[in-house]
Amino acid sequence: MKLRINHSFDFKLVSDPAIADKVHKMAERVRWHDPILVERKIDQTSVVLDDGQAEDSQFSFLVVGDSGSGSHRGHYPQRKVAELMLPHHADCRFMLHTGDVIYLVGSSEYYNENFIEPYREFLVGGDRPKDISYDQMIFSLPILPVLGNHDYYDLPLFSGLISLLTTPARFLLRSRLELDVGWQGSKQGDAYAHAFLDYLKALSPEKLVHHLDQHYTASANNARCLRYQPSHFTRLPNRYYTFRYSNIDFFALDSNTFNAPSPLPTTSQGKAYRKQLEERCELLKHEKVQILEKTANLNANNPEESDQLDDLRVKLSQIDEVQVDIIKQLVSNENVMVDWEQLDWLKERLIASWQTADVRGRVLYFHHPPYVTEATKWQQAQTLAVRHRLRYVLDEVAKEMGDFAQGRPLVNLVLTGHAHCLEHLKTLDTGHADSNINWIICGGSGYSLRRQRPEGSELRESFNQSFNREMSRDNQLLEGIDSDQDDRLVASSQLFIGRSGHGTQKRRPYSSLRIDVKAGNPPKFVVHPLVAEWHQHQWQEHEVKPFIIE
């Protein structure tokens, strides 16, 4: 049966909670600053990875991101990527996940198919994956994630009803487009919190005290903190956190709470830009309707039409993402919420890291990439917001440190996701403390790969010539609006692995990473891309040479 849609209806696949709600709800779940924890001087942002090997001078770890899809049309990209990592299981100490653990809306009902099943060898009891509850997972190899935007998403009311009811529309969305739309949604990140965080909210005061005495027995930064024990207790203390391994400090951030665009200017240029955004949003709405109507005539059992359905699914997801970004700009006002508590924490911890003689390196990982050449991301307002706010933090650290770093980048490596590709970039002279840093995007581990932007590997940024290069805390430059601008090259892509080709020559290389950390100060990172390519309805080998970051 063909689905007929009213073209005036704005069909939204996802809804994104307000930043204030994300911060508040997550704080409740971990009992942030609860008097019982404060009294015991517990640091809820530190975790000690207690595997008996953290003092080794050399080690390896895995990285995945944007992985959370199930099996679609005869292939299972996330499982294939997991199989690529299995030979490295014994040699690696942990796996970092750059976010979007579960598509499309972080729903608990998809954790078994879209996380537990593909990564079963990394979980205790993984030989019986269907018996593992998403909120009772214990990892034999530590999996240390950050939140992606889809891990926070919920469903608009209409989409939720479609997912719940058995109707032609439900059949279209689930069976033909295979969007993994669970009717529950993430409940503002609650499913992720139950899956990975130490969910203290569920404990009575008496049980809380016993729990803290049992599991918060490690120490860091002159405070008690959570002890992460592989195969025994594998919970994280908060949505953002830090851990030290082999004298390298890892900082896991929640970029979903500092990615809100600044308000659009009230100048004539700003008003004209607002009108452009509104018109584009309307065009995207009609394009989504056309995509949904096209799918009604395609047969998923026909290989050629199955490819078309995959392309339409990717396109629909891209459009929804762009719409979310546009809406964030349109509704932004002077009261835009920025999670300065987290950013101030990062600033203080980076300074403390540099002031600790034994620390030889620093790695950041979070979801939204500040630098990226994937086709849909560079011009997004969220990209600019994250780039600006991270720059602000690094600039503040640089001011505090003076010449202490002796010309070395403040961070050795930044790992992100969100862009559905594998990419290595290096910043040039940006005019800020994020210059000369290596950035790796690992977001191609299972869901709808994307192409590189037509402009290619160089990233140019527009700076207002009269704008003070010293970033302020509350204001940021809006690219593409002010007329008096200076264009400069700020970053260059060294490697891009994403969707390419068309028709029968279409290639989908899904990816993860193994990173070997060598001895020395500063350390050397040897990056091994692990890539499996889906081409002409079968998996093919796709070797990529390792590269070194020093």
Output the CA torsion sign for 298, 304, 310, 313.
negative
Q: Specify the amino acid at residue 508.
A: R
DSSP string, 394-409: HHHHHHHHTTTTTT--
Q: Which residue has the tokens 């709808």?
A: 448
Residue 6 has a pLDDT of 39
Q: Say what the pLDDT of residue 468 is.
A: 39
- Give the three-class secondary structure for 161: helix
Q: What pLDDT does residue 478 have?
A: 45
Sorted by sequence, the CB contacts under 8 Å of residue 11 that are 6+ apart come out as: 5, 158, 159, 285, 288, 289, 292
Q: What is the pLDDT of residues 112-136, one digit of tens each?
A: 999 999 999 999 999 999 999 999 9
- Show the CA angle centred on residue 407, arms to residues 401 and 410, nearest 5°: 55
Q: Look at 171 and 326; give whichever has higher pLDDT.
A: 326
pLDDT surpassing 80 at residue 417: yes
What value does the mean pLDDT of the chain take? 88
pLDDT in tens, 317-346: 788 888 889 988 998 887 889 999 999 999
Q: Are 512 and 80 in contact (CB under 8 A)?
A: no
DSSP at 144: E
Mean pLDDT within 222-230: 97
**419-436, pLDDT tens digit by residue?**
999 999 999 999 999 999
Cα 98 to Cα 67: distance, rounded to the nearest angstrom: 9
Q: What is the pLDDT of residues 522-546, one digit of tens each?
A: 999 999 999 999 998 899 989 999 9
321-326: long-range pairs with CB below 8 Å, 24+: 321/376, 322/284, 322/376, 322/380, 323/12, 323/281, 323/284, 323/285, 324/14, 324/16, 324/149, 325/261, 325/380, 325/381, 325/382, 326/277, 326/280, 326/281, 326/284
* Percent of the chain surpassing pLDDT 70: 88
Whether pLDDT at 77 is above 50: yes
pTM, 2 dp: 0.93
Tens of pLDDT, residues 99-108? 999 998 899 9
Which tokens go with 533? 């390519």
CA separation (Å) from 103 to 69, 108, 376? 6, 10, 18
Q: What is the DSSP letter of 13?
A: S
Query: pLDDT for 19-55, tens place per residue?
Result: 999 999 999 999 999 999 999 999 999 999 999 999 9
- Token pair, residue 333, equals 């006002």
Reported as a single tens digit per residue, the pLDDT across 257-283 is: 999 998 888 889 888 999 999 999 899
- Dihedral, CA atoms, 292, 294, 295, 299, nearest 10 degrees? 170
Report the distance separating Cα 47 and Cα 228, nearest Å.
7
Q: Which fold has domain 19-261+334-549?
A: Purple Acid Phosphatase; chain A, domain 2 (3.60.21)
Q: How does residue 480 score in pLDDT terms, banded at 50, 70 and 90?
A: very low
Residue 299 to residues 167, 294, 309, Cα–Cα distance (Å): 18, 11, 8
Look at residue 477 and tell me whether its pLDDT is greater than 80.
no
